[in-house]
Amino acid sequence: MARSLGVREKARAVAQTEKVKIMASILVIDDDASIAETLDLYLTEEGYSVRTALTGTDGLNKYVQEPSDVVILDIRLPDVDGFAVLEDLKEENENVKVIMITAFHDMETTINAMKGGAFDYIHKPVNVDELDLAIKKALKSLEMEKKIDGLLMEPSRSFRVGDIIGTGNEMREIFKTIGTVSQSRTTVLIHGESGTGKELIAKVIHNNTSPNEPFIAVNCSAIVETLLESELFGHEKGSFTGAVARKLGKFELARFGSVFLDEISEMSVNLQAKLLRVLQEMEFERVGGKDRVKVNARIMAATNKDLRAMVKEGKFRDDLFYRLNIVSIHLPPLRSRRQDIPPLIDYLLSKINLDLHKKIIGVSGEMMEKFMTYSWPGNVRELENLLVRACVIAKGQVLGVGDFPELGKDYEALPDKKDTTEEVFTPEEPGKFLTLDQVEERYIRKIIKETNKNKGEICETLGISRPTFERKLEKYGITFERD
């Protein structure tokens, strides 16, 4: 071994003082009798219950008769290939933790081992520090799985693909708005930070209005102006070089469904004028054509920018803004609705399990704490991407801190909240707490007084919708004309 087993005395002393060793069982399958014996001695002194086997067949028989917590498996065996033993072990118990060891250092062997479901892969000569770390990780993964055992069989709620997850007041207001606008075909403007799920909101509105009709999404920032016009309105044969045949645009292809214009703020001023005409007259002409085509689809738009500010700067047409902003939905960032993170994780993992054919149960308590304090600059999209990557590389059924290396590098916790004790007491009677309504009223008045924000910006700061903000102004008798 790479490190002398003369450290036994030290290991024994540590074990005696810490008293933390758990009688976990380990099965060693290796045809080299000296390695099997050495591992047996070392692991036994480390506090584990150890059995050994010199052939793959013997090892499989011992595991079937009495399953071990961890299996240390050599790839080169005299009677059967180690990969075949791994496959049989996984068939016997798909959650078995197998640490494979080999003298081969080639890429293909390593990839095949991990692809076959090995928990870890260690080269010979075995470094006992590396082996000890791998065993502890395997046992920790096993322990977390046992703690959350049965979670997949009895989920807290059933999810459907396309569900919107949210339990706070802001999300409940959004659900109400969706229900209201689904009764008509009015234009909807959805705004919120990147990754908050604006397209999902549009799809839910569409599915509750015209589910059997097409839903067509167009990213206005991903297509150059000349091509975007053709994409939206279509073109006639010969209208420009390369137009070898008539092409129907998105407004026409959507029929009685929905057209979702994402990143509407990136649309050129010239094209904004043409879109305004569509919204006003509900008809258009194809590029190079003269026939007027009627628009039957609902138009929804989304942006992560402040369109009101862009209107003031002359970067967005005010008349188009008011046409789009008939019904406005503001999606709060994930950091302002942290109570939704656990159910979001449940939902996303259920979806990822279906897509990747995995059986991930959940995340560890330590990882959940990090999630709850992370600032989430990428919002729900970032959460989903992190979970997908973690599920791909995960070696157990519970995702731990080690499965999120990206978050470890770029971890950005929410700033500590300042002590606001003095703000929750009445100035007239120190020591008497304010009511929640009084705290809320003071907070709203403070934002209005100390900032130069308009109503839309204040709604974003508060994380509430415009109708909710208007109701609070009326409730507290606050006069606010700035817009």
Q: Any idea what the CATH number is for the domain that residue 240 is in? A: 3.40.50.300
Strand runs labelled E in 286-397: 292-294, 298-303, 327-331, 362-363
Structural element, H or E, at residue 274: helix 269-281
Contacts of 313 (CB under 8 A, 6+ apart): none
| 346 and 264 inside one domain | no
The answer to whether 36 touches 56, Cβ cutoff 8 Å, is: no
Q: Which two tokens stand for residue 483?
A: 């817009």
- Amino acid code (one letter) for 170: E
Same domain, 26 and 142: yes
236 with 314, same domain? yes
Distances (CA, A) of 138 to 64, 94, 118, 229: 19, 14, 11, 56
Residues 52 and 99 in one domain: yes
**Does residue 42 carry a pLDDT above 80?**
yes
pLDDT at 433: 62
Nearest residue to 135 (alpha-carbon basis) of 93, 180, 78, 97: 97
Assess whether 120 and 173 both reside in one domain. no
User: What is the pLDDT averaged over residues 39-48?
Assistant: 91
Return the exposure string of 178-213: e unless at least 16 CB atoms fall within 10 Å of the residue's CB, then b: beebbeeeebbbbbbbebbbbbbbbbbbbeebbeeb
Mean pLDDT for the chain overall = 83
pLDDT exceeds 50 at position 354: yes
Query: Whole-angstrom Cα distance, residue 173 to residue 466?
Result: 10
Same domain, 271 and 370: no
Q: What is the pLDDT of residue 36?
A: 92
Alpha carbon separation from 298 to 11, 71, 119, 275, 280 (Å, rounded)? 71, 59, 51, 13, 13
Q: What CA–CA distance (Å, rounded) separates 437 from 424? A: 11
| Residue 279 confidence (pLDDT) above 50 | yes
With cut-offs at 50, 70 and 90, classify the pLDDT of residue 112.
Answer: confident
Identify the H or E element spanning 189: strand 188-192
φ/ψ of residue 102, rounded to 5:
-160, 155
Give the pLDDT band (50/70/90) at residue 321.
Answer: very high
**Residues 465, 378 share a domain:** no
Q: Which two tokens stand for residue 353?
A: 């399990």
b/e burial code for range 441-452 (CB count within 10 A of at least 16 → b): beebeeebeeee
Query: What is the per-residue pLDDT for 162?
Result: 58
* Full residue range of the structural domain in which residue 395 is found: 337-405
Percent of the chain at pLDDT exceeding 70:
86
Q: What percent of the chain has pLDDT over 90?
A: 41
Residues 397 and 327 in one domain: no
Place of tokens 């010199």: 54
**pLDDT tens-digit series, residues 149-207:** 444 333 444 455 557 888 777 888 888 889 889 888 999 999 999 999 999 999 999 99
Q: In the chain, how many domains are there?
A: 4
27-45 as b/e, with b when 16 or more CB fall inside 10 Å?
Answer: bbbbbeeebbebbbebbeb
The two structure tokens encoding residue 333: 């960032």
Angle subtended at Cα 410 by Cα 406 and Cα 411, rounded to the nearest 5 degrees: 100
How many CA atoms, within 13 angstroms, populate the side-chain half-sphere of residue 322? 3
Q: Are residues 131 and 112 in the same domain?
A: yes
Query: Last residue of a domain, which of 305, 331, 357?
Result: 331
Residues 246 and 307 in one domain: yes
Q: Which of 405, 438, 455 is the last residue of a domain?
A: 405
- 204 shares its domain with 82: no
pLDDT confidence bin for 418, thresholds 50/70/90: very low
pLDDT band for position 8 (cuts 50, 70, 90): very low
CATH number at residue 109: 3.40.50.2300
What is the pLDDT at residue 419?
40
pLDDT confidence of 311, banded at 50, 70, 90?
Answer: very high
Q: Are both 399 and 447 inside the same structural domain?
A: no
